[in-house]
Structure 1
Amino acid sequence: MNTPESPADLVAAEDLLLFVNAAITATGQREFRSGAISQHLSLDFLHTYVRVNYRRVYAACLALDINDHNAARIVLGLLETAGEASTEERRAEGRLIAARLALLPPQRVYRLFGEVRRAGINNRRTRAILRDWLAARPDLGHDAVKYRSGVKTAARHVHLRCPEGPARMAEVGAFLFRPGKLPRYGHPLLDAWRRAHYEQGAVAELPFSVAEGFAARHGMKRAVFLERAAPRMTRLERLRTQEQRAVGDRRPDVDLAVMPLTRLALYVLALPFAQRAARRAELTGALRTAARRAAGGHAGSWGRVHAVLDDSFSSSGSGQKRRRPLAVALACHYLLEALAAPGAYRAVWTSGRGDALLVRPWGPTPLGMRVLDALEPGPGGAVPDRLVIVSDGWDNAPAGLAGEVLRVWRRRLDPGRRTAVVHVNPVYDSEGFDVRRLAAGVPTAGIRDAEDLPALVEIARFAEGRAGAAELHAYLDRRVARFLGAGVGAGVGAEVGDRGAVGDGRPGREAVS
C-alpha cells in the first residue's frame, strides 16, 4: 500500500522538477524573449534556493543530463558552501563532483578552476579534487600549451608540485612558471611551441586554436595554414573550416554521420538553402544515421508517433544561441522518426512546410491548429500512441489555443490516455523560473540536446502527476548509482520532507503546475 505523501513531499518534488528543467535548458545567455542579465538573476535564485533547501538533491543533479554551464555552477556552489554539509554529504558530493568533472570539457573545467580561485575556495578537499582531476589528464603538456592560463591558475591554486629534473612534470612547471629557462623541451608539443616563435614549420605541430595565432604572426596564407594544420584538427574544427579548405568542387572528407545529432542539425541549418538541396542525400543520410545512434535500444519501440515541431520566427534564437531552438526541433524530428515504429511517424511543422531539410525560422506560432492536425486519426482511425510537441511554448496564433485543445482532448476525447502527450521545450523562461508550459495537464520537460529526449520523456511523467514524489526520488537515486557505478550512501529521498516547505521566496506553485 502506498504511503500518503505530505504537502512537503509534493512541494519538494515540484521544486526538483523545476530546477532540473532550468538546469537542462538555461545557460545564462540571451534568449529570443529575455536578456542575459535576467537569465543570470533567475538562475542565481534557483541555484541558491535548491542548494539551501535540498542540498542532497542539488548534488544528485550532477548525475542527470543537465548542461555543462549548470553542472559547473553546482560544483562551485558545493565547494563554496562545504561547511554547510555533513561529513557524509561531503563524501557523497566529492564522488559526484569528481565523476562530473571527468565528463566536462577541459576548457570548462579550467574556467571553473579560475572561478574557484577568485572565490577564495582553497580548503584541503577542494585542492584534492583539483589535483586528482589534473593527475587524470592524459597529457598535461598538451593542456599546458592549449589552455596555458587555465593550467597555470590551477597549478598555483592547488600548490601542484613540479619537481626539478628530467620528468615531464618538471618540464610543464618550467614551461608555465619559468619560460625560457630550458633551451629545449622533451615533450614534443612544448618544444613545438618554443620553435613556433621563429619557425613556420613548427606551427602545424600545435593544436589548431594555438597554431592560428602563430600563423597570423608569421603572415601565413590561410589556405596553406589550413592544409598543414588539418591532421591535428579536432572533428569540430575540421567541420568549421570545411568550406575554407575546399578546392574547386572538391569538399574535404568530413564524416558527418559521426557528429552528435543536435550539433549536426546546427551545421545543416547554417548551410544556405542551395547547398542543403544539392547535398540532400548526404545530409539526410547523416542525420538519420546520427538519429539511429542516439535512439540506441529504443529504436522502433515507441509505436505510432506524431510530432508538432516549432519552426516559427522565435526558433531563430538569439545572437548567442543562433537557431538553437530550431536545431533541437530538427534533430528531434529525425530522432522521433527513428524511435517510432517503421512507417508510423508523422511530423507537423508550425509553418506548414513538409520538407524538414529546408526549414527556416518564419512566421507566428499556430500551435493549436497544428496540434489539431497531429491528433487527427490516421488510416483506419488509429490515433497516435505518442504526441510529442517541440516548442518554446509561445502559442500566439491565436494565443492559448493549444492549451485549450489539449485540455479538451484529455478530458473529453481521451480520458483513458490512449495517447501519451509530452511537451519538450528548448528555451528557459527566466520570469517563470521554468520552461514555458502549454497546459496544466500536459507534462513539460526542458531539453537542450535532442539526444536526451528518451530520458526526458521518462522524467516528464513525474511532472504529469502519474508518479509520486517517492518514485521521483527513487528514480534520482538510481541515476546517481548508475552515474557512479555504485550507491553513495543515504539516498536523496532522505531529504524529502526535511526542509520541503522551507524557504521564503519560493517560486509560486503556478510555475510548476
Structure 2
Amino acid sequence: MAETFSDLVAAEDVLLFVNAAVTASGQREFRSTADEQRLSLDFLHAYVRVNYRPLYAASLALDINDHNAALVVERLLRHADEAGPQEKRLEGRLVAARLATLPPPRVYRLFDALRAARVNNRRTRAVMRDWLASRPDLAHDAVKYRAGLKHAVRHAHLLPGGTELGDFLFAPRRRARYDDPRLDARRRARHEQAALYELPFTVAEGFAARHGVPRAVFLERMAPRMTRLERLRAQGRAGVPAAGLAAMPLTRLALYALSLGFEERAARRAELTGALRAAARRAAGPHAGTWGRVAAVLDDSYSSYGSGVKRRRPLAVALGCHFLLEALARPGGYAPLWTSGSTDPLMARPWGPTPLGARILDALETGPQRLLIVSDGWDNAPPGLAGEVLRVWRTRLDPERRTSVVHLNPVYDADGFDVRRLAPCVPTAGVRDAEDLPSLVEIAQFAEGRTGLAELRAYLDRRVALFLGDA
C-alpha cells in the first residue's frame, strides 16, 4: 500500500521529535538560552503526544536522553485519559522499563513534578508503588534522597505509619536510635564525626563541612565508599587517585579527558588513550571492524565548547565518536579529519571557525564506504559550502550512493525545533552520547525521506519488543 502524504508528514514529525529528545536537555546551548530550549521542547512534547501518542510512548524504547524520557513519562501519566485500555497497558510496561534505567534522583524529581501538578490517579500511584518496591534498598534511599522519598510516599500514600523507615522520614525525633545502621548513622552524624564515614559520599560531604573536617582527610577516608564518578570528580582537587577509567562510559570518559589541562593529558596520554579505546571497543561490540573504510569529519570549532552548563559537551561527543569509529572501521581503514586541522584528538580544544565544506571534500577524496559528520551544523567558512558539496556529490558524483553519508548533530536548535541539517540529501540524526552512534546511524535512514510511516512503525515495534524483552 502506497504511503500517503499525511503518512510521510507523520514520519517526519516523529523523527523530528526523536532528534530533539536525543539531544535537547532544556539547558543553555551555545546559541540558545535555557528558556528557549524549554519552550521549544514543551511545544514538541505536546504536539507529538496529542497527534501520535502511541509513537510518543514508543520513544521510551529509543536512545532518548534521561531529561526527555522523564518528560515523556510525566506527560503520559498526566494525560492518561487520552489513551485506551490496550494503549495504557503497553504504556505502563514502557514506563516501568524506562524508570528502571533512570538514575534515582531523576525519578524522584519526576515524582515531585507529578506531585506539584497534582497528578495522583490510580495509575500514577501504581507506578510509584512498583518503582519503590523494585528499589534494592529503601533505607539507602531514605538517607541519600530523603526529601524525594518522603514526598513520593506521602503523595501516593505508600508507607504505613509506625515503621522505622516511616519514623525516620516523618518523625525523626521519635526514636532514640534506629536498628538499621544507615538510618542510625544519619542520626549520629549530627554530633559524631565517625558516623560520617558510614554515610553515602554526597550526604557525608555536608556533615563534614559542618564538623570542619579538612577536605583532604575527608576524601581519603571516604575513598572506599565513593562511586567511580565521585572519584573522578574528586581527582586533582585532593590527590584522590582515579580507578577503573577503562570501565567508564565512552562519552563520560571523553568529558573527563577534556576537563584536564594539556600538560596532564600529555603526561597521561597512554592511560587516557587506552581507556578511551577500551570504552570504544565495548560500545562497538559485535560491530567492531565491520564498517569497512570509514572517514569522519569532526567539529572542534569554537562552538563545540557548548555552554557554561554543558561545558565541552559537543566536543566530547566528537572525541568519543572518533574512538568509536576507529573501532568500527576495518583495521587501518579509518580517516579522521578535525575542522581545526588537528591530528592529535587527545589535545582537542574548542577553537576557530567551522570549515565543514573543505573537510568533507578531503574526507571524500579518501574513497570511504561510510562518511560520518559530527557537527552542530553551523558551516561558516565559507557559509553553505558543506551543503553544496554534499548536494553535488549525491546528485552528480555518487547518485548510486556507493558512499553512505550521515550527519550526527549533538546540539538541539530551539528555533528550528530540530537539530540543524547540512543538506536535504543527507540524513541527520541527533546524538547525545557517542556510544549510541551505531543505533543512530540505523535510524538516520528514515530521515532521508525514502521511507514512510509504515517502515518507521515497524522499526519502533522492533525496538519496543527488544526493550521490553518480548523479542
- Please state which band the TM-score falls in when normalised by the shorter chain: over 0.9
1:486: how far off?
A: 2.0
Match of 1:252 in 2: 241
Match of 2:192 in 1: 199
Is the partner of 1:244 in helix, strand or coil?
A: coil
1:468: how far off?
A: 3.1
Match of 1:304 in 2: 293
Cα-to-partner distance string for 1:423-450 (whole Å, 9 max, x where unaligned): 0000000010000000000000000000
Match of 1:357 in 2: 346
Q: Note if 1:86 corresponds to 2:79.
A: no
Count of residue pairs the alignment pairs up: 471
1:228 counterpart (221, 237, 243): 221
Is the partner of 2:279 in helix, strand or coil?
A: helix
Q: Note if 1:443 corresponds to 2:441.
A: no
Q: What TM-score comes out, normalization by structure 2 length?
A: 0.99
Q: Note if 1:139 corresponds to 2:137.
A: yes
Structure 1 runs of 4+ off > 3 angstroms? none
Residues 302 and 386 of structure 1 are in contact (CA less than 8 Å); yes or no, is this contact kept in structure 2? Answer: yes
Q: Trace 1:176-325 onto structure 2 (pairs within 5 A).
A: 176-246=169-239, 252-325=241-314
Match of 1:329 in 2: 318
Match of 1:476 in 2: 460
Larger CA deviation: 110-119 vs 86-95: 86-95
Q: Write the letter of the residue equivalent to 1:191.
A: D
Cα-to-partner distance string for 1:258-316 (whole Å, 9 max, x where unaligned): 00000000000000000111111111000000000010011001000000000000000
Q: Write the letter of the residue equivalent to 1:184.
A: R
Q: Note if 1:388 corresponds to 2:381.
A: no
Q: Write the letter of the residue equivalent to 1:188.
A: P
**RMSD between aligned residues:** 0.9
Match of 2:413 in 1: 429
Instruction: Structure 2: give runs of 5+ residues left out of the alignment.
Output: none
Cα-to-partner distance string for 1:28-52 (whole Å, 9 max, x where unaligned): 0000000011111100110000000
Following the alignment from structure 1 to structure 2, what is the Cα–Cα distance between the partners of residues 281 and 83?
A: 56
Q: Trace 1:397-412 onto structure 2 (pairs within 5 A).
A: 397-412=381-396
1:244: how far off?
A: 2.9
Following the alignment from structure 1 to structure 2, what is the Cα–Cα distance between the partners of residues 63 and 43?
A: 19
Match of 2:17 in 1: 19
Q: Write the letter of the residue equivalent to 2:158.
A: L
Match of 1:116 in 2: 114
Following the alignment from structure 1 to structure 2, what is the Cα–Cα distance between the partners of residues 211 and 84?
A: 45
Q: Write the letter of the residue equivalent to 2:439.
A: A
1:17: how far off?
A: 0.4
Following the alignment from structure 1 to structure 2, what is the Cα–Cα distance between the partners of residues 340 and 188?
A: 52
Query: Taking every aligned residue pair, what percent have the same amino acid on both sides?
Result: 73
Q: Note if 1:32 corresponds to 2:25.
A: no
Is the partner of 2:237 in helix, strand or coil?
A: helix
Following the alignment from structure 1 to structure 2, what is the Cα–Cα distance between the partners of residues 313 and 406?
A: 23
Q: Trace 1:25-64 onto structure 2 (pairs within 5 A).
A: 25-64=23-62
Residues 162 and 172 of structure 1 are in contact (CA less than 8 Å); yes or no, is this contact kept in structure 2? Answer: no
Is the partner of 2:326 in helix, strand or coil?
A: helix
Is the partner of 1:243 in helix, strand or coil?
A: coil
Cα-to-partner distance string for 1:322-381 (whole Å, 9 max, x where unaligned): 00000000000000000000000010000001100001000000000000111113xxxx
Match of 1:65 in 2: 63
Q: Write the letter of the residue equivalent to 1:16.
A: V
Q: Trace 1:340-355 onto structure 2 (pairs within 5 A).
A: 340-355=329-344
Q: Trace 1:458-497 onto structure 2 (pairs within 5 A).
A: 458-486=442-470
Following the alignment from structure 1 to structure 2, what is the Cα–Cα distance between the partners of residues 146 and 253?
A: 23
Residues 208 and 232 of structure 1 are in contact (CA less than 8 Å); yes or no, is this contact kept in structure 2? Answer: yes
Is the partner of 2:371 in helix, strand or coil?
A: strand
Following the alignment from structure 2 to structure 1, what is the Cα–Cα distance between the partners of residues 95 and 62?
A: 13
Match of 1:420 in 2: 404
Q: Write the letter of the residue equivalent to 1:348.
A: L
1:415: how far off?
A: 1.1
1:253: how far off?
A: 4.6
Q: Write the letter of the residue equivalent to 2:227.
A: T
Following the alignment from structure 1 to structure 2, what is the Cα–Cα distance between the partners of residues 292 and 437?
A: 29
Residues 262 and 450 of structure 1 are in contact (CA less than 8 Å); yes or no, is this contact kept in structure 2? Answer: yes
Match of 1:175 in 2: 168
Residues 231 and 242 of structure 2 are in contact (CA less than 8 Å); yes or no, is this contact kept in structure 1? Answer: no
1:452 counterpart (436, 439, 464): 436
Instruction: Structure 1: give runs of 5+ residues left out of the alignment.
Output: 165-169, 378-382, 488-513
Residues 245 and 252 of structure 1 are in contact (CA less than 8 Å); yes or no, is this contact kept in structure 2? Answer: no
Cα-to-partner distance string for 1:33-74 (whole Å, 9 max, x where unaligned): 000111111001100000000111111101100000000000
1:163: how far off?
A: 5.0
Q: Write the letter of the residue equivalent to 2:155.
A: H
Q: Write the letter of the residue equivalent to 1:243.
A: G
Residues 301 and 341 of structure 1 are in contact (CA less than 8 Å); yes or no, is this contact kept in structure 2? Answer: yes
Is the partner of 2:106 in helix, strand or coil?
A: helix
1:89: how far off?
A: 1.2
